[in-house]
Structure 1
Amino acid sequence: MPPKIALALCNAWPEPTPGEMPYIEALRAAGATVVTGRWNGDQTPFRDADLVVLRATWDYHRDLDAYRAWLAALPVPVANPVPLVLWNLDKAYLEELAARGVVVPDQAVLPLDLSAARATLAAKGWARAVAKPTAGASGHGVTLVTPETLEELWPEIAASIAPHRLLLQEFVPEISSGGQVSFVFYDGVFSHAVQLLPQPGEFRINGKFQPRKALFEPDAAALAQAEAALAALPGRPLYARIDGIFRGAQFILLEAEVNEPGLFLDVAPAAGARFAAATLTWARRG
Structure 2
Amino acid sequence: MRIALATAIAAFALDDDLPPLLDALRARGHVAEAVAWDDPTVSWSRFDLVLLRSTWNYTECPAEFLAWCERVAASTRLLNPPDLVRWNTDKRYLSDLASKGVPVIPAHFLAPGDDPASFPTHAEFVVKPCIGAGSRDTQRYTAPNRAAAIAHAKRLLDAGRHVLVQPYLEAVDTAGETALLFFAGRFSHAIRKGPLLQRDGAATAALFAPEAITPREPSSAEIEVAHRALAAIPGGAPLYARVDLLPSTDGPQLLELELTEPSLFFDHAPGSAERFVAAIESTLAD
Report the residue type matching 1:4 in the other structure. Answer: R
Q: Which residue of 2 aligns with 1:253?
A: 254
After superposing the two structures, state which structure 1 stretch, 229-238 or 246-255, moved more. Answer: 246-255
Decide whether aligned partners of structure 1 residues 56 and 64 sit closer, same or farther in structure 2, where only a CA change above 3 A counts. Answer: same
**Are 2:79 and 1:83 equivalent residues in the alignment?**
no
2:193–2:212 Cα contact (<8 Å) kept: yes
Decide whether aligned partners of structure 1 residues 261 and 230 sit closer, same or farther in structure 2, where only a CA change above 3 A counts. Answer: same
Deviation at 1:155, TM superposition (A): 4.2
Q: Which residue of 1 aligns with 2:230?
A: 230
Q: TM-score, normalised by structure 1?
A: 0.88
The secondary structure found in structure 2 opposite 1:130 is strand
1:129 to 106, 116, 125: 125
Decide whether aligned partners of structure 1 residues 200 and 153 sit closer, same or farther in structure 2, where only a CA change above 3 A counts. Answer: closer
Decide whether aligned partners of structure 1 residues 104 and 76 sit closer, same or farther in structure 2, where only a CA change above 3 A counts. Answer: same
Q: Which residue of 2 aligns with 1:98?
A: 98
1:5–1:34 Cα contact (<8 Å) kept: yes
Cα distance between partner residues in 2 of 1:251 and 1:153: 26
**Are 2:178 and 1:177 equivalent residues in the alignment?**
no
1:199–1:211 Cα contact (<8 Å) kept: yes
Cα distance between partner residues in 1 of 2:196 and 2:261: 24
1:175–1:245 Cα contact (<8 Å) kept: yes
The secondary structure found in structure 2 opposite 1:223 is helix
Q: Which residue of 2 aligns with 1:221?
A: 221
Deviation at 1:210, TM superposition (A): 3.4
Decide whether aligned partners of structure 1 residues 137 and 24 sit closer, same or farther in structure 2, where only a CA change above 3 A counts. Answer: same
1:140–1:160 Cα contact (<8 Å) kept: no
Q: Which residue of 1 aligns with 2:117?
A: 118
Cα distance between partner residues in 1 of 2:25 and 2:213: 25
The secondary structure found in structure 2 opposite 1:52 is strand
Decide whether aligned partners of structure 1 residues 84 and 208 sit closer, same or farther in structure 2, where only a CA change above 3 A counts. Answer: closer
Cα distance between partner residues in 1 of 2:135 and 2:85: 18
Report the residue type matching 1:137 in the other structure. Answer: A
Cα distance between partner residues in 2 of 1:185 and 1:43: 33
Report the residue type matching 2:124 in the other structure. Answer: R
Decide whether aligned partners of structure 1 residues 61 and 275 sit closer, same or farther in structure 2, where only a CA change above 3 A counts. Answer: same
Q: TM-score, normalised by structure 2?
A: 0.88
Decide whether aligned partners of structure 1 residues 219 and 229 sit closer, same or farther in structure 2, where only a CA change above 3 A counts. Answer: same
Percent identity between matched residues is 31
1:158-206, Cα deviation, whole Å (9 max, x unpaired): 4467331111111111221211100000000000011111269569999
Cα distance between partner residues in 1 of 2:9 and 2:21: 21
Q: Which residue of 1 aligns with 2:25?
A: 27
Report the residue type matching 1:26 in the other structure. Answer: A
Decide whether aligned partners of structure 1 residues 200 and 220 sit closer, same or farther in structure 2, where only a CA change above 3 A counts. Answer: closer
Task: Provide the alpha-carbon RMSD of the alignment.
Answer: 2.5
Q: Which residue of 2 aligns with 1:166?
A: 163
Gaps of 5+ in 1: none
Alignment length (residue pairs): 279
The secondary structure found in structure 2 opposite 1:41 is coil
1:36 to 34, 37, 50: 34
1:199-227, Cα deviation, whole Å (9 max, x unpaired): 69569999954333221112333312211
Gaps of 5+ in 2: none
**Are 2:60 and 1:62 equivalent residues in the alignment?**
yes
